[in-house]
Amino acid sequence: MYLHHMAQGFFVRLLLPISLLLMGSQMWAQCDGARYRYRIFEEIIVDTDVLYGANVGASGANEELRMDIYRPANDGEEERPLVILAHGGFFLAGSKDGTDVVPLCEDLARMGYVAVSISYRLGIDNFFDLETSLLEAVLRGVHDAKAAIRFFRESHTLDGNPWGIDPQRVVLGGSSAGAFIALHSAYIDDLAEVPDVIDLTQPGLQGGLEGESGHPGYPSDVLSIINISGALGDADWMEPGDAGIVSTHGTQDNVVPFGTGMVQLLGLNVTQVDGSWPIHIQAEEVGVPHAFTALEGEGHVPHMTDAQAYDVTRAAVMSFTSQQVCPQYPSIPAYYDVDAPPAVGCSGDLSLDGTVAVEDLLLLLADFGCGSFCSSDLDADGAVTVTDVLVLLGVFGTPCG
């Protein structure tokens, strides 16, 4: 029923050693082979209607911006990856409790993430100029999403990290219109790329690329992007060094094009965009880490109504994202059983590939001197030292199990 096209950018493998050196030891302790990839928590906590910002909407009135925050219950970790999702609805409808995002947030929390569903300013305010109205709506959404990211980084710094997030591991994504927001947040990095038809002096559109929806002074960059049935104004905006991306898209989508084509509203052509397929061609060409799953024969956002499409979408998203937040995780297929963690990992198998080998020695050396929360602390004495190197060498070449 489905054609799964998984295009893993080779730069993932090239950048892995650098990434490992930059990640903290607490992250290593979390990446145990199951967390962030499999549903290991049965219960979750949901905090609803958390205020994260405000700005002038399409109607000219000031609008409050709220979010729902999903977390695993009974979890002792304090620095967890954060995934922020934006709902779809063509900037006319949809909500943060929509079926296109809530199941994903719930499953992300069961995997150990802090997951967030945000509201953002809706409004296509001129049906006689749909193209300009849509472009303005996308920019409002970009400003709001960036404010949501800054909200968490500010709370981490000033409020004692009440949500237990790792500010270095923030992922932004969305479904349909929400994916437009995520894509343009990540890949427009120059005001010259903002279409000239948008008046950046209008109330609610001011503030450059960051906007004025709240929490200035904190960064809004992300680790990677989740794109479900979205598109980008121009795939060429993606450049070397940009955030990685995972996408799913129906090949027969008649709302947002799979390739390059027109976005449609009620059969009307609105504006030309590059859908998921050309985005991933560009990602491969410029060396951005990426993975793409095409849903053969499917239309727009099939994960909302088809259980199998949801399972495929969830697995594709988590397969890639788990490796972004845990770079030592081995690659797995785009589709896998999220409720069946493998029995891999043993003392010395730091890469969780089922064997103690050269890669594990390199990981231990990268962690050398670590003094707390160290997965490389094989002798459990509170530090990674020469003794741990000797322990690993003692089991070198040994398969787990």
d(CA 185, CA 135): 13
| The CATH number, out of the four listed (3.30.470.20, 1.10.1330.10, 1.10.357.10, 1.10.3720.10), of the domain defined by the range 343-401 | 1.10.1330.10
Residue 14 has pLDDT above 50, yes or no: no
Lowest mean pLDDT among 14-18, 86-90, 386-390: 14-18
Residue 376: band (very low, low, confident or very high) from pLDDT cuts 50, 70, 90: confident
Q: Tell me the Ramachandran region of residue 345: left when phi exceeds 0, alpha when psi lies from -120 to 50, beta otherwise.
A: left
- Point out which residues pair with 290 in neighbouring strands: 245
What is the reported pLDDT for 15?
A: 40
Q: Which fold has domain 11-325?
A: Rossmann fold (3.40.50)
Provide the pairing of β-strand 290-295 with 260-265. unpaired
User: The tokens of 35 are what?
Assistant: 């967390």
**Residue-wise pLDDT tens digits, 120-177:** 999 988 878 899 999 999 999 999 999 999 999 999 999 999 999 999 999 999 999 9
77's CB contacts (< 8 A; 6+ apart) are 30, 112, 164
Nearest CA to 296 out of 253, 259, 261 is that of: 253
* CB atoms near residue 252 (< 10 Å): 12
**Residue-wise pLDDT tens digits, 63-110:** 999 999 999 999 989 999 999 999 999 999 999 999 999 999 999 999
d(CA 148, CA 155): 11
Domain boundary assignment for the chain: 11-325, 343-401
More confident position, 352 or 49: 49
Report helix, strand or coil for 232.
Answer: strand
Residue 4 has pLDDT above 50, yes or no: no
* CB atoms near residue 260 (< 10 Å): 15
- Span 245-267, average pLDDT: 96
d(CA 177, CA 66): 17
- Span 342-371, average pLDDT: 80
